[in-house]
Amino acid sequence: MARRRKRNPNGAGTVTLRADGRYQAAVYVPQPDGTVKRKFAYGRSFEECDRKRRELIDRANGGIPTPTRDMTLGQWFDYWLEVIVKPNLAPSSYDAYESPVRLHLRPRLGSKVMVKLGVKELRGVMQRLMEDQGAKTAKRALRVLSAALTAAMVEDIGVTRNVAKLVHVRASTDSGKSWDAVTVLRFLAAARRLTPYYPAFLLLCLLGLRRAEVCGLRWENIDLENRVIWVEQQRQRTSAGTIDAELKTDTSKAPLPLPAQCIAPLRWTRMRTAMLHDRAERLGRFWFDDPEGHVFVTRTGRPLQTAHLYLVMQRIIQAEGLGKMNPKGLRKSCGTLLVHLRVHPRIVKTILRHSRIATTMDIYAESLDPDVIEAVGQLDRLLRQPARLRELEASRSTPPGD
């Protein structure tokens, strides 16, 4: 009597030998949209393929969706944003990814099977998006799509190349203008007269802090006696409310020396907060007891918001007649002024706390150095001398040995 082959229990999947000599595992796995589909994995040996089978089963038992080859981009966007982006990135980064997906990528590419997306088709979609919404919007959407496809390649669902990296959108990069030292002094003088948040603008200009970092500063992060400041969190607005979030990189948490002219204004800020608190208690007005002890607070004790600080900045600029300024303008001005002072780029990188020195040089230190301007001028003057040019031509036409 023939011996019956032992069957795997339901849900355990199968491992079979293909005609090409490879092994193939097949397991039914949950999809991001709630359905169940058959997922295939391949290996050169039985052990390798069986390991992949067990990994798929573990994911399925843990309730983790596993995308398949016939997944559309719309389904992948849902999975990528909820399972990969949201748990691992800051809320602001999630919003930066979710918005282009919802507004531009899903309406144009959501029904397309991800593994079948081609360069020619994507180039046409980006061209139409550029015509409808502009080159900057198309470039931002393409960058988000590239991040999504890179994550898909890691998931081993059949995506072998990132077609978004093969499509290019030309768009001007506007990192905002920067001010010279005189303009920065005019701005700070006006801020000292017009707003109690003058110390915040001092930190923006002298240390190149981000607005969210200034609003997230706590008194425990500042040592006025030893003149040291630690930037450890940033104030961010999320769907759950405004919170203090961790900084993106460890390099951003490095301690910085506190400039001498910031000491007295910061002491005044602490006295102002205590005065506002006492006045609110005396008059029976509402006062928010901030458990984190933020440095910059409103009249009611609530931590200062980045949007509020930006509006105050714009009012100062308008009152002083300084023209429009990008929200990152003060930070960029700090970088370019350090370059003009001939500070080494690595020192500028440390002060601005960038993770890559290329960011320092390409974005915040793009102003022309006076030495560079003078060198180009000397070259221009050299090439403007007709007599010198005729002398060079004569020397070239003279035969050797004459």
Task: Tell me the per-residue pLDDT of 19-73, one tens digit each, with 9 for 90 and over.
Answer: 888 998 888 877 766 678 787 888 889 888 888 888 888 878 877 667 666 778 9
Same domain, 149 and 203: no
CA distance 56 to 27: 7
Please tell me the predicted confidence (pLDDT) of residue 25: 87
Same domain, 88 and 37: no
- Which residue's structure tokens are 């003009």? 340
Same domain, 144 and 279: no
Same domain, 315 and 213: yes
Is 364 or 241 the better-scoring residue by pLDDT?
241
HSE on the CB side for 2, CA within 13 Å?
Answer: 3
Out of 91-95, 149-153, 300-304, 350-354, pick the least confident.
Answer: 350-354
CA distances from 61 to 64, 364, 377 (A): 8, 49, 70
Same domain, 124 and 239: no
Give the Cβ contact number of residue 183 at 10 Å: 16
For the segment 305-342, what is each residue's pLDDT rounded down to a tens digit?
Answer: 989 999 999 999 999 988 877 767 888 788 777 777 76
Tokens representing residue 94 in the block: 């999630």
With 0-12 / 13-18 / 19 or more C-beta atoms within 10 angstroms meaning exposed / middle / buried, residue 325 is buried
Whole-number average pLDDT of the chain = 81
Same domain, 226 and 147: no
User: What DSSP state is assigned to residue 50?
Assistant: H
Range 320-323 contact pairs with CB under 8 angstroms and sequence separation of 24 or more = 320/186, 320/187, 320/190, 322/179, 322/183, 322/186, 322/187
Domain end: 141, 166, 191, which one? 166
| Position 315 in a domain | yes
Residue pair 184/280 in contact (Cβ under 8 Å)? The answer is: no
Asked if the model's pLDDT at residue 387 lies above 60, the reply is yes
Is 360 or 284 the better-scoring residue by pLDDT?
284
CA distances from 287 to 217, 274, 292 (A): 20, 11, 15
| Position 297 in a domain | yes
Same domain, 208 and 144: no
For the segment 194-216, what is each residue's pLDDT rounded down to a tens digit?
Answer: 999 999 999 998 888 888 889 99
Please tell me the predicted confidence (pLDDT) of residue 60: 80
Same domain, 40 and 87: no
CA distance 282 to 276: 10
Same domain, 55 and 77: no
CA distance 220 to 244: 14
CA distance 252 to 205: 17
- Which residue's structure tokens are 């015509």? 131
| Position 381 in a domain | no
- Which residue's structure tokens are 């007891």? 289
Asked if the model's pLDDT at residue 365 lies above 60, the reply is no
| Position 398 in a domain | no
Binned at pLDDT 50, 70 and 90, residue 350 comes out as: confident
| Position 357 in a domain | yes
Domain end: 166, 201, 221, which one? 166
**Global pTM value:** 0.62
Pairing of the two strands 222-223 and 228-229: antiparallel
Strand 228-229: give its sheet, edge to edge.
222-223, 228-229, 256-257
CATH number of the domain encompassing residue 154: 1.10.150.130
Please tell me the predicted confidence (pLDDT) of residue 1: 44
With 0-12 / 13-18 / 19 or more C-beta atoms within 10 angstroms meaning exposed / middle / buried, residue 280 is middle
Domain end: 131, 166, 201, which one? 166
Same domain, 80 and 193: no
Please tell me the predicted confidence (pLDDT) of residue 319: 92
Is 366 or 56 the better-scoring residue by pLDDT?
56
| Position 218 in a domain | yes
DSSP of 291-351: TT-BSSB-TTSPBPPHHHHHHHHHHHHHHHT-----TTHHHHHHHHHHHHTT--HHHHHHH
CATH number of the domain encompassing residue 201: 1.10.443.10
Which residues span the domain enclosing 56? Answer: 14-61
User: What DSSP state is assigned to residue 65?
Assistant: -
CA distance 22 to 106: 37
| Position 1 in a domain | no
Same domain, 54 and 87: no
CA distance 385 to 390: 9
| Position 387 in a domain | no
Q: Which amino acid appears at position 195 of this protein?
A: T
Same domain, 53 and 84: no
Please tell me the predicted confidence (pLDDT) of residue 146: 92
- Number of folded domains that form the chain: 3
CA distance 397 to 130: 54
Binned at pLDDT 50, 70 and 90, residue 178 comes out as: confident
